Homo-oligomer: A and B are copies of this chain.
Amino acid sequence: MDTVTLEDARRVIAAAEAKAAEIGQPMNIAVADAGGNLVSHVRMDGAWLGSIDISINKAFTSRAFDIQTKDLGDNAQPGNQFYGIHASNHGRIMIFAGGLPLSRDGQVVGSIGVSGGSGEQDQSVAEAGAAAL
């Protein structure tokens, strides 16, 4: 099972931070490994305190289901097939934009979770991070 290293995580976080700085929105950024366990987290100065937990759990969620959290969110709306999934895994499932699997050679090797702005901002920062793997 291939997995991200701390060096990988730092490269991903640096790219995400650069994007957050570019759009002027301080963010919490977390990277998890192939086992869903945290590798690294940073809170940029001024970023929301409540987003520490959210960023770490968006990363967990993306690896837990090998899916973007925004796509899981579509399936988790009332009436849809995974409605209620946010009650599972002891509060660690986040069902809104900002979490992405990290893949290498077609295999998920970890994940990134971003929280601190609008859903659109979180998503764009997470994508910038993921692109740097």
Contacts and interface: CB of A to CB of B under 8 A. Distances in A.
Contacts of A95: 83-84, 87
Contacts of A81: 96-97, 118-120
A84 B89 contact: no
A83 to B, nearest CB: 6
Interface string A106-126: 000000000000111000000
As for how many copies of this chain the complex holds, the number is 4
Interface size class of A (residues with CB under 8 A): 35 or more
Contact of A45 (B6, B35, B36, B50): B6
A73 B64 contact: no
B48 A64 contact: yes
A132 interface: no
Interface of A: 1-3, 5-6, 9, 33-45, 48-54, 57, 60-61, 63-66, 73, 76-79, 81-91, 93-97, 118-120
